[in-house]
Amino acid sequence: MRIIPFFKRPLTNIVWATLLLSAVSPLTFAAALPDFTHLVEQAAPAVVNISTSRTVDQQAEVKQFSLPNQDQLPDIFKHFFERQFPQQKPRQQGPNPKPQSLGSGFIISADGYLLTNHHVIEDADKIIVSLSDRREMEAELVGSDPSSDLALLKIDADQLPYLTLADSDQLKVGEWVLAIGSPFGFDHSVTAGIVSAKGRSLRTETYVPFIQTDVAINPGNSGGPLFNLNGEVVGINSQIYTRSGGFMGLSFAIPSNTATSVVAQLRDHGAVSRGWLGVQIQEVSQDLAESFGLDKAAGALIAQVIVGSPALDAGLQAGDVITSVNGNEIILSAQVAHFIGALAPEEIARIGLVRGGEKIHIEVVIGTLPDQIAAALGALEQGQNLARIGLRVASLPAEKAKAWRIGHGVEIIEVDQGVAQELGLQAGDVITNIANQRIESVEQIVGLVAQLPPRRSISLRIVRQGRPLYVAFRLNQ
């Protein structure tokens, strides 16, 4: 009789392999995953809760905050405390303090300086900081910067636990990160994930190259820290992308390097000064890249040079394509604002350009961004959202109007999901007529779109690369 050894029996081999895997795999997987326990023990005491109050006139109508149905909510970036406040009915006339929802923050020095988001403390008359040891203190607002959505606070205390701001430029996509905050008021909740992308440009903040993560962030996390595995702060949780009002896998944090620069200016001056170049720019499409002699659709096309700006003094021209700033390659136009805004006034920036198919470099003495120009440029960058048809539009650049021989219209600067995407509309197209009405301004088209009837055919005339085209669409609601 032939005897088959135990380890050579087919069925036995399967059983043996299963037993071996069941014993080894959990250990292997556990070893591959990070252990956050020590990080949380060390970092959590420096994370705080922040609540605010502001005086309101109780005689005025109190706004009801509630989440609309998902199909009614446009795809926009939500600040964390929007639509979170319960309805309150006035009981008496005159001013009365109105409590606001909780946010998060963290201590950055032993003598009581704290960092949080601007939108957490915006318009607050009183700011209360709750420490991990259950103490509550009123905080002083040292300074706030709406453009970066950061605010610096100070409490009267010393020998406090504090966190260190790391070099966020060293952060890598795919790296593990962790957040601590108070989502929906649940103190010191810990969530973890990975870095999904870096240098994201959002509509609401022109000067911040956001860190995108898949860390679960919800209302109440706003202003809290985002850690690397060394327990250092690499970002400040600020925004989420959502249709429901809650976490959907897309969270955005302000890089710690941005925060370091802002904190220094807020502490020393109470305000933030940003570098100013003085150009209006747009993305470079494939067609534009070919026409300007570029190897690829990358860079920032200068659509206009502002009179009296540093760019004009240095000789920059409409039609130039910015390809680098101080050696940093420009892929998307929004990166220009990131790099220039981070420079101090009077610094010299070396701008790489393509002009007439030729690569050149020009040195520009950076100026100070005036407040009124900052507001105007912010409005230009963000445009106006036409959520019903899935578009964002801005005023028609004079150069494009002349080149395409268009006397009126608005330019599409972004296409979202919805009717616009189904029609094949593109950024750079110009809308000249809608519902048989001539479009003269952004304000006009906003009003017209709001009044368009549902379930009826609506005509839309666009101009693309100088060629007119009519299309028709219907709105479901």
Q: What is the pLDDT of residues 424-476, one digit of tens each?
A: 898 889 999 888 888 888 878 887 888 888 878 888 889 988 888 888 888 87
If you search the block for the tokens 């700006």, which residue do you land on?
309
- Phi (first) and psi of residue 294, to 5 degrees: -95, 150
Looking at 79, 104, 145, 149, which residue is catalytic?
Answer: 149
Q: How confident is the model at residue 214 (pLDDT cuts 50, 70, 90)?
A: very high
Is 348 a residue whose pLDDT tops 70? yes
Q: What pLDDT, on a 0 to 100 scale, did the predictor assign at position 71?
A: 45
Q: Is the pTM of this model over 0.85?
A: no
pLDDT at 10: 54
> What average pLDDT does this structure show over 328-339?
88
Count Cβ atoms below 10 Å from residue 466 Cβ, excluding itself. Answer: 11
Domain at 383-473: CATH code: 2.30.42.10
Domains 34-272 and 275-374 share a fold: no
The structural architecture, per CATH, of the domain 34-272 is Beta Barrel (2.40)
Q: Which of 119, 256, 261, 320 is catalytic?
A: 119
The yes-or-no answer on residue 156 being catalytic is no
Q: How far is CA 287 from CA 95, 292, 332, 401, 451, in A?
A: 58, 9, 15, 17, 35
Is pLDDT above 50 for 181?
yes
- pLDDT higher for 296 or 246? 296
Q: If one looks up domain 275-374 in CATH, what number appears?
A: 2.30.42.10
What's the mean per-residue pLDDT of the chain?
81
pLDDT value at 47 more than 90: yes
Instruction: Give the C-alpha separation, 260 to 382, whole Å.
Output: 25
pLDDT digits (tens, 9 = 90+) for 63-76: 333 344 444 444 44
The rounded distance, in Å, linking the Cα atoms of 218 and 251 is: 9
Among the residue ranges 316-330, 361-375, 400-414, the one predicted with the least confidence is 361-375
What is the three-state SS of the chain?
Answer: CCCCCHHHCHHHHHHHHHHHHHHHHHHHHHHHCCCCHHHHHHHHHHEEEEEEEEEEECCCCCCCCCCCCHHHCCCEEEECCCCCCCCCCCCCCCEEEEECCCEEEEECCCCCEEEECHHHHCCCCEEEEECCCCCEEECEEEEEECCCCEEEEECCCCCCCCCCECCHHHCCCCCEEEEEECHHHCCCEEEEEEEEEEEECCCCCCCCCEEEECCCCCCCCCCCEEECCCCCEEEEEEEEEECCCCCCCCEEEEEHHHHHHHHHHHHHHCCCCCEECCEEEEECCHHHHHHCCCCCCCCEEEEEECCCCHHHHHCCCCCCEEEEECCEECCCCHHHHHHHHCCCCCCEEEEEEEECCEEEEEEEECEECCHHHHHHHHHHHHCEEECCCCEEEEECCHHHHHHCCCCCCEEEEEECCCHHHHHCCCCCCEEEEECCEECCCHHHHHHHHHCCCCCCCEEEEEEECCEEEEEEECCCC
pLDDT, position 406: 87
Please report, for residues 64, 206, 216, 367, the alpha-carbon distance to residue 84 in angstroms, rounded to integers and kept in the order given: 9, 26, 18, 40
In whole angstroms, give the CA distance from residue 217 to residue 213: 9
Q: Which of 222, 261, 309, 395 is catalytic?
A: 222
- For residue range 235-259, list pLDDT tens digits in order: 999 988 876 677 888 999 999 999 9
Q: Is 222 a catalytic residue?
A: yes
Q: Bigger pLDDT: 83 or 273?
A: 273
Reply yes or no on whether 119 is catalytic.
Answer: yes
Residue 54, pLDDT > 90, answer no
The reported pLDDT for the residue numbered 21 is 55
Tens of pLDDT along 354-376?
998 899 999 999 988 765 455 44
The domain ranges of the chain are 1-32, 34-272, 275-374, 383-473
